[in-house]
Every structure is written in C-alpha cells, then in structure tokens.
Structure 1
Amino acid sequence: MPTSEPVRLGRKRALPACPNPLFLRWLTELRDEAKEKGLKTQYTYQKAINSLNKYPLPLRNAKEAKILQNFGDGICKILDEKLQRHYRENGEQQMKETSEGKKKKKKKKREYVPQRRSGGYAVLLTLYRQSQIPGSKGFMFKLELQTEAQPLCDKSFAVPDLGSKYTAWSSVSTLIQKNLLIKTHTPARYSLTEEGLALAERLAAAEQETKVCSGGDEGEEEEAEIRVEDVCYLEPTKLYSVWTLLRPLGSLRPSICMNHITALQLNMFIVCLFHVMSACCSGSHHRKQELVKELQRNGVNFDVRKLNVGDFLWVAREKVTPVPGQLRLPAGRELVLDYIIERKRMDDLCGSIIDGRFREQKFRLKRCGLRRPIYLVEECGTAASHLSLPEATLQQAIINTQVIDGFFVKRVQDVRESAAYLTVMTRFLNKLYQNRTLTCRSRELEGDVSADEEERGIPSSSLISFAEFNHGALKNKCQTVREVFARQLMQISGLSGDKAAAILEHYSTPHSLMSAYDRCTSEAEKEKLLSTIRYGKLKRNVGPALSRTVYQLYCTPGPLS
C-alpha cells in the first residue's frame, strides 16, 4: 500500500480587517437590538453586515454604501445620523481616521508649471502682459485672449492637430482647475488669480532671461515672436484683433499688415439661408412642409439650425476644398449677415401680445447684434376675425413695430409669399455681398470698424460668427444687472424697448437710479426725473406720466394702489 503524502501544516492567512469598522459596529448593534425585540429587521441588518464585510474599500459616508447590496435608504439614513453624531463628539480628524482606517500620508504635490510655448504658458503670459499695461481692464475675453496668446504658442488655439480633438485652448480648463485662472461673467472673462499672477510673473522673468541669453534685446525678440509669418497660426475668423496683434510692431509697414489681413479674410463664400423648423413655422405640419417645398422649388440653398432668436437669417459660409489625406471636408467658417427675420402669423401675433412674448421678442431682436431686423407678417385671411383680439388692435401693433420700434415690416398673404420673399432676399444678398471681403468682428469688444460704411448706407463687411451670435442670443443665459433692469422696466405698460434703452443710458442699474432719486430735493423733482430723457430716432421725451410711474414703482413702500 503506497504511503500517503504527509499532511502540510501551516498557519492560515489572516483575513483583512473590515476597512469600515464604525459602520460594522453600528450595524451589529442594530442587529442585536432587533434580535432581542424579535423584529424581522435583524435579518436585513445581517445581510447588510455580510455585504459590508465583502467590500474591501473604505467608505466616507453612508451614501457611498448604496452601491452595496441590502443597503437601502433607511439603513443609510441611520448610519449617516450616527456618523454625524460621532463627528460632533469625537471631531473630524478622529472620525476620518476611525472610519477610513489608517490615514494615508499625503504626497507633496509637484507645482504645476506649463511647458514653454504650450497653451497654458501662452495664456498665463498673455494675461500677465495685459495686466501690466497702464489702465488695463484686468481681464480678457476668449477671442481676444486666443488671438493675443497665439504667437506665444506652437499649437493652434482653434484647429486641433491631425488625429487629435484637443487644441491649445484645452489647457485653460487645467489652469482653472489649478486655481491659476478664473472665469467669470457671460460672455466669459478670463483673469489671473493671485497664484496665477505669481506664476505668470516667474514665467515672464524666465522668458526675459531666455531672451538675454540668446543675445537679443526685448524689442528684437518680440518682433521675432510676432512676425507676419507667425500670425498664420491665428484662426481666420478672429480677425477683429489682428490690428491689436500687429500694433506694437513699429517696423512693419502698413502695406504688409493689410496684405496679411487680406490673406486671412473670408473672401470666397456662399450665402445660405438658415432657419429653424420647430419655431419659425407656426401652424400645422402641412404648412411647415409647404414652406420647405417652396424654398426647394425656388432653388434656395438653406439649412436647418437651432436659432436662439429670430426665425430666419443669412450666413456667409466659406467654400472649402478637400484636404489630401482627410476623409471629411474641413468645416467652413460661418459669418452672419446683418439681416434677421422674425416671422409672425396673425394668430401667433395675437397670442404673443396676450402672453407678453411680443415685447420681449422685439427687445431681444434689437440687441442680438444684427443691425437690420425684419418682421415678416403673414396674414390669415378670414381667420383673423376669429382671433382673441380685435383686428384693429393687431394692425396697430404692426404699425407700432414699424414706426415706433423702428423695424422693417414686410406683409405677405400666405406661406407661398413668405417663401417668395425669402427667395428674393437670398438672391439679393448674394449679389450684394458678391466680390466683397468679409471679416469677423466680436460683440465682446467695444467699437465698430464699419460705422462709416453703415452711415453711408453700405452694408457692413465686418460680421459676427454664427457660433458667437447664437450663443449671445441664448434666452435663459446668465444675465447682467443691466439686462435684468431693462426687463423690469419693460414690464411697465407703455415703456417700450427704446424707452428702456434710453433710461439705461443714464441709469444702468437700479442702484444708480435710486441714488439719483436720493439726490432730488422734492417729491415733484423725483417724479419728473426721467421725463426729459429722449428716446428713439425722433428723440421724443419719455414724458412725466411714465417718469412718475417708474418713480412710484421703485420708491413706494408696500403695494401700489
């Protein structure tokens, strides 16, 4: 009989202790208490104990335990209450050390320093240089910052490298996360934190040392960094600040600058009509399809986009050519022409007057950044007699829109005439902008490079990009105090958008208006404070009645009689 193998004796490997001893202890107490009372919840607590014993990681609170089996809302609530009580009695440090086990030693984090000529490096250095300019506003807008920082970076801030989805601008999120950069307001404003300012100052000093060691002085190095050839890194749609970029270079001749700007301009384009199906076509699905079919029949090149204001607008889209080695065509740049249409059927006009949307829409159209807003009013024929408001009221609203609010109003009979007008407008704009060189301006920066052309009746060639236009027209975006104040004023009966804008020119916030009331010496003077403010093209006075109403609204304690 063969001998059996000797039995191996040894010590069993000790099982690891539960990394959540507090939760385990409390669940055990709850189970034992339920067992003494003969409650069935003892089995529920036992199941939770079994799940907890199998879980190898520490839990910071009971909410994290919901991922385990048999941990419902009731058990988690009890454990959280016990944990809070334990925290109050023993302090945060002891609670963390007890519930999470031994506290791991924190490794000392390395200071984040962006690599030279990277996106983060260029952004920090640009903001620092801007902060050193006397009278600096202390922040920069996105488009402005991208353009100024581009010559300091080897990667593009707008176009990702081949095979990548990231640009140099992607590093801005890292700067914000590292508390070096702060982003505020809408549109976004970027400025340095105290830590970012200190780091940027060190980067600027290191940059200066690099220039000295390389044997060139500061002026020569700056010119070398911002050569005309280097500006090609700029995204072409950010042309509004090319002059800002080239302005420090005294050695560059104006002819060179102008030639370079022409090379970046959008001078090969097609004009296409943009509209949104869900909002622009009131009525049945049949009427919506009828408009589309009419546009297609007329050969109109149109696209469907989500528009945050208006129903139709025209966009100059760059003609693009295929790139060797790339499957898809590159995205063409898009600039919005200065014409936008709000389409109103008479039944929709009636509804918008009743619910207050009509005044708000006119206000938003006026401040959308496009200079030539149009109202396309579509008659309903005999259907107008069945509307909630008298036809005379609707006709008066249309006249007021044209005469008082200053909109161009085009009246048509039906969907077919609407499509015909859109077709004629598209062909007219194609001819109007033919052989013209278009550049991109930004709503974020003050000033208008085409004001002279506008005064002479020539349509502007300096246009807003579609992306910036649509983002700026968001209805529910974060609003400034000035915008909220304007909306408040426009809720007053008889106070139109022109009147609100005129009041805002004198008193941009409720605080400034209240301060002006405080400086008045009598009640009569307060009531007449706004009466002589002129508004609109005819420069009429706001008048004493509206002035008194605004004063009563903001200065009367309690409800108005």
Structure 2
Amino acid sequence: MRILEPLSNDEFLPENLKDLYSKFLQELIDELSPRQEQLQITYSKAKKNLNDTDGIFYYPGDLKKVKGIGATIISRLEAKIQEYCNERGIRPPEPKAARDVPTGTKRSRTALRTDSNKEQISQTTDTQPPKKQRKKVYIPKKRSGGYAILLGLLELRAVKRGYSKEEVITSAQKYTDHSMEGNFATKEFYGSWSSINSLKKHNLIVEVGRPKRYSLTEEGVTLAETLKTADGIVFQREREKEGSRDNSMRDIETTANLSELLEKEKLSPSFRQGKPNSSFIDYTFESTGTPIGTNRALTPNRNPTVPSGKSPSSVPSKNTFRKRFNGVSYELWVKGSYEVYPIIDHREVKSQNDREFFSNAFARKGMKNEIRQLALGDILWVAKNKRTGCQCVLNTIVERKRLDDLASSIRDNRFMEQKNRLEKSGCSNKYYLIEETMGGSIGTMGEALKTALWLILVYYKFSMIRTMNSDETVERIYALNEVIEHHYSKKSLLVLYPNNMENQDDYKKVLETFKSEFERKGNIECCHSFECFQEMMGKSEMRTIGELTINVLMFIKGVSLEKAIAIQSIFPTLNHILNAYQRCKSPHEANMLMFSKLGEAPGTKRITKGLSEKIADVFSTL
C-alpha cells in the first residue's frame, strides 16, 4: 500500500492525484484567450485522455503515459502542483530523479514508496551497477541508398579526392534496387540519394566545395569495406588486371591552355566562321511564323558514317582525361562523342490534366528529351557524353510564358528576377517563348505587357519566339532542336568542373574566362556541367548580401528591379537602410529619404514621393 507524504498540520496529499491534475488542466484551459484556439484543443484533448486513462498518477512524470501529454504540459502541471502545495503548506511530490529509485528499469516506474522497498532497492543498487546504454551503430540496409553510396564512393576510391553527385550516382546505382534520383515522368519525386544526409550525420562521408564534392571519411572507408566483404562484392577494376590504371590516370590533371590543348589533342584550328553570339533563331525561322523545313543544309546527319564493317557502338572512343586551366578542371569532349537533346522542366505543362504533353509530342517526332526539375528556365539543351554518361549545359535556354503568366510575373517582379538569373547563366542564346493563349485574364496589364516585350527584344537583347498555342510551340522547339543538333555536330565541347565558387556571378565569370581563352581558335565551345548549373543557378542558392537586399526591396509594391538596384547602390545592405531611417529627425524627413536620393534619377530608377513614403512605412517602423 502506498505510504502517503507527511504534511504539516497533519494533512496528506491523496494517493492518486488524477482528479487534481484534471482540475489543473481545466484551469489552464480557462486561462487561455479566445485567439488561442489550438492550445485550447490541445489541453482539452489532454484532459479527456487523462480522465479516460486508468491508473494512479502521483508524480507529474507519471502523466507521460497519457496520450497527448508531453514535456510542456507536464512542466506546467508541475508548476501548478508546486503552487497548490505551497499555498497549503504541503510538501509537494518529489521528482523521481531526487528519490532513491533506480532509473532505467520498468520496476522503478511503479515501485511502491515503502520503507522495505527502499531498502531492497538500495541493496540492489549497491550490488548491481546501472547498465550503460550502448550507442547504436549505424549500418545501412542492404541495397538501400546509403549502402549504394558507400560502395559507389569506395569503388571510385573517393578518399583524397572528392567526386560530384553525378559521378557518385553513376557508380552507386548498380548497388541499389531503387532509383538514386527522382523520376518526375513516373511521379517518383524522391530518390535514394536522400540517404546522403544520414551518411553525413554519422560522419561517414565529407561534403566540400561549391559545387559539392563527396568523399569517404576513415569510418566510411571501414564500413564500406566491411559491407563489400560481407556481401562478396568484386569491383570492376579488380576483375581487370589493368583496370586500376585508368582510374589512377584520371586523378592526374595537367595544366593546358588553348595552344597546348590543340597540340595534345591534335585538333584542327579551322572551323566554320559564324556571327559571334548570333542567335539560333536567325537560322531556324525565315519569319516570325514559319519554321524552315526544307533547308537540307541545316538538317543534321542523324546517322553519322562509320568505317565499313563496324557498327557505331564498335568505334573506339577516346578516353577523356581532365586538365586544368586557371585553377579549374576541365574535360574535352571531341565532336561525335556526345549526344544533344533538351531537358524539359517537370513543372512545364500544357494543363493540369496533361502534364506530359511536350515530352510526348517531342517523342512522337523522334526527338529525345528528358523531364527533370530545372533550377532555371523551362527548356534547356544539354550534351550527354556517350561513354561516361555525364551531362553538360549548352548555350541555349528557353523561358516559356503564356500571356497571363507573363502579366502575373510582371506584377510580382518574377519577370525581372528571372531575367536577371538568365543573364547570369552565361548562355549565349536566351529565348522568351510567348504563347498567346491565356488561362486567365490579364486585366489592365496590356501596356505593361507591351513594355515587357520591348525590353526583352531591344534592351535585354534576348530572342523571342511567339506562338499561338502549345501545338505551335512544339513545332518551333522541334525546328530549333534541328538547328542545335546540326550546330554541335561540328563542335568539340570543353566541359568545366570548378569546385570553389561563391555565388552566381562566379559561375558566369569562370565561363567567360574559359571562352576568352579557348573559343579564340578551334571548333570548341565551353560549358559548365549540368550538375554545376543545377546547384548554382537556383533561386535561393549562393545569394550575396547585396542580392538579398534587392530581393527584400522588391517585396514592396512599386519597387521594380531597377529601382531596387538603384537603392542598393546607395545603401549596400539592409542594415545601411535601417540606420539611415534611424538618423532621420522627423517623420517627414523619413518619408522623403528615398525621394531625396533618387527623385531625379533617370528612367525606371526614379522614385516618386508616394513610393518613398511606402518604403519609409516599411523600414522606419522596424
């Protein structure tokens, strides 16, 4: 039988405080304001569950077994019982940790507070030390994502040198039963690659650089070798006597500029001269509405000739070794060693009920394509190395807009933000494809649309394709793809693999540095890897403080990108803006601050008195 706590004035607490705790919960409910509806629901559920649960509840910690009562509610009930006991001069229930009851055993939770029981527990504690809780060792399940990544990195010998996500996935895919990457065409939005987070958490792999590179830690190597031995896995290089020679040679990167590259690779410097930075649209369409379908000179040879007696697959492929220039690794893909096709963003749909319209339409025309999530743009052309499977980004990107979508993007400043990122992509051929169909009304945005189209063509020097509907869009993209395939059938690609970029500006600078060196002679085009493009060109990836300041300013209605850039040129960070408003001696001075700075600015940079007051309303109250 439970011994009751002795109290002053000969009072005792009841053996079961269940009703008292229920009363305290009702008090907590009554203390809530009408706006705290969610807390009221939580406390009410806790009270109901407590009343429905059988058992003795003496210590506040005993309430843990009641569904809906967690640490927060227990702490508040503990404060209530403490206050209740203090008012009556009663000794409150002692916390379990302060009593002589051993923790970690089921018996300790229900042990009766008797003198004999205390004596038995004390003797048991003296003779039997408490068990130490063993730390669970993380071992990934066989054929899971983590299992595959560890073995893939071990096969790549990724200890001193890190490898990209694409390289790791290529090596690891054969060791798992699931796709490493999500497949948006089959509605598989998540892949086994997400297991990389568990491996990082348990210090089995290291992630460094931008774009990210992955390598094994000592613990990771040990675990990967254990898994390999346990499952009897034999790597390809272990089957071939000279298999390790190729891998070791890949780790050797020699420095080579253009002249050295031409000499080593025996490339001819002669090439077909074309207009510098000319748009493919000049060759694709005779007019704004007619694709060229009969010009055979522009039709790529889909069946390249091979030596007689040999199939295309039997033609020996040249090994691709990495070199360095200006501290950046690169590979040369000679013409014919890669295939060209577009990647369509998985959000690019004709309608909610026809999400794969474009992919299926291109496939019916015999045009290879992929559906993936793109960091930038709606359609992006890539090249895929036939031997390694690696992908790189070519110089053509398309942003597709319906008229109503374009109007919406102008209203919320997405139009300028997308334009800004498209310029940072480094792509020479940037297209706005405008479909004149509408899923909604454009309201009073007619003049704004005309201005936006004028800016695209004249001011920003983007190319534009206008179509009547999605079917015509398919025809235009197909014609553009024909020209792109023909263009790259005569090109060798120089693929960059930088590993220490800080922001999107660095992405473009590195590309321009290589273009100025390697595109001077020779039929070579420089481009980033697709993985680098995906990681660096995302909306929120690698933003500088200045870019964040511009984005915050653009949330204020009426502040366009040009106005935000003009403000940021005067006040580099949000802290500068806040300090400027704090120094204002009167509300009128604060309201006129931006007008005094940019009231006489030219064109779209000018800030009116009304807009200046709006900006002051946001910042002067912070």
TM-score bin (small chain): 0.5 to 0.7
C-alpha distance in structure 2 between counterparts of 1:343 and 1:231, whole Å: 44
Check whether the contact 2:333–2:495 (CA below 8 A) recurs between aligned residues.
yes
Aligned to 1:72: 67
Aligned to 1:311: 378
Aligned to 2:457: 402
Check whether the contact 2:377–2:398 (CA below 8 A) recurs between aligned residues.
yes
Change beyond 3 A, Cα 1:347–1:157: closer
Per-residue CA distance 1:257-287 (angstroms, 9 max, x = gap): 999436954442111111135x32344746x
Check whether the contact 1:450–1:460 (CA below 8 A) recurs between aligned residues.
no
Aligned to 1:299: 366
Aligned to 1:324: none
Residue 418 (structure 1) shift: 1.4
The partner residue of 1:270 within 316, 339, 344 is 339
The 3-state SS of whatever aligns with 1:545 is coil
Per-residue CA distance 1:462-487 (angstroms, 9 max, x = gap): 33333343344444669654333121
Aligned to 2:469: 414
Establish whether residue 337 from structure 1 lines up as the match of residue 399 from structure 2: no
The partner residue of 2:510 within 438, 448, 461 is 448
Change beyond 3 A, Cα 1:469–1:78: closer
Change beyond 3 A, Cα 1:519–1:84: closer
The letter for the 2-side match of 1:431 is H
Alignment map for 1:367-446 (pairs within 5 Å): 367=424, 370=427, 372-380=429-437, 387-389=442-444, 391-434=446-489, 435-442=491-498, 445=501, 446=506
C-alpha distance in structure 2 between counterparts of 1:387 and 1:542, whole Å: 22
Check whether the contact 2:399–2:433 (CA below 8 A) recurs between aligned residues.
yes
The letter for the 1-side match of 2:510 is D
Aligned to 2:16: 29
The 3-state SS of whatever aligns with 2:483 is helix
Alignment identity in percent?
Answer: 20
Q: TM-score, normalised by structure 1?
A: 0.53
C-alpha distance in structure 1 between counterparts of 2:367 and 2:559, whole Å: 40
C-alpha distance in structure 2 between counterparts of 1:385 and 1:162, whole Å: 44
Residue 161 (structure 1) shift: 6.8
The 3-state SS of whatever aligns with 2:453 is helix
C-alpha distance in structure 1 between counterparts of 2:79 and 2:440, whole Å: 68
The 3-state SS of whatever aligns with 1:437 is strand
Aligned to 2:574: 510
C-alpha distance in structure 2 between counterparts of 1:541 and 1:519, whole Å: 29
Aligned to 2:403: 346
Residue 461 (structure 1) shift: 3.4
Establish whether residue 232 from structure 1 lines up as the match of residue 250 from structure 2: yes
Residue 183 (structure 1) shift: 8.4
The 3-state SS of whatever aligns with 2:492 is coil
C-alpha distance in structure 1 between counterparts of 2:390 and 2:384, whole Å: 6
Residue 511 (structure 1) shift: 2.6
Change beyond 3 A, Cα 1:489–1:354: closer
Alignment map for 1:456-467 (pairs within 5 Å): 461-467=525-531
C-alpha distance in structure 1 between counterparts of 2:353 and 2:548, whole Å: 36
The letter for the 2-side match of 1:408 is S
The letter for the 1-side match of 2:248 is D
Alignment map for 1:174-213 (pairs within 5 Å): none
Higher mean displacement: 266-275 or 468-477: 468-477
The 3-state SS of whatever aligns with 1:307 is coil
The letter for the 2-side match of 1:272 is Y
Per-residue CA distance 1:468-524 (angstroms, 9 max, x = gap): 433444446696543331212334566543564566567542234567899999999
Establish whether residue 490 from structure 1 lines up as the match of residue 559 from structure 2: no
Change beyond 3 A, Cα 1:334–1:151: closer
The letter for the 1-side match of 2:533 is F
Check whether the contact 2:433–2:467 (CA below 8 A) recurs between aligned residues.
yes
Provide structure 2 residue ranges, at least 5 long, that are not aligned to the other structure.
Answer: 1-12, 22-47, 83-91, 109-124, 136-156, 181-194, 219-244, 267-319, 324-329
The partner residue of 2:349 within 251, 272, 281 is 281
The 3-state SS of whatever aligns with 1:486 is helix
- The structure whose RCO (Cα within 8 Å, separation 6+) is larger is 2
Give the paired residue count.
Answer: 409
C-alpha distance in structure 2 between counterparts of 1:160 and 1:363, whole Å: 36
Provide structure 1 residue ranges, at least 5 long, that are not aligned to the other structure.
Answer: 1-25, 35-39, 50-58, 66-70, 110-145, 191-195, 200-226, 235-241, 321-330, 534-539
C-alpha distance in structure 1 between counterparts of 2:582 and 2:538, whole Å: 36
Check whether the contact 1:151–1:230 (CA below 8 A) recurs between aligned residues.
no
Check whether the contact 2:344–2:371 (CA below 8 A) recurs between aligned residues.
yes
The 3-state SS of whatever aligns with 1:421 is helix
C-alpha distance in structure 2 between counterparts of 1:106 and 1:46, whole Å: 32
Q: TM-score, normalised by structure 2?
A: 0.48
Alignment map for 1:527-546 (pairs within 5 Å): 529=597, 545=607
Alignment map for 1:44-193 (pairs within 5 Å): 46=54, 65=65, 71-73=66-68, 94=98, 99-100=103-104, 104=130, 149-150=160-161, 160=171, 164=175
Check whether the contact 2:578–2:620 (CA below 8 A) recurs between aligned residues.
no
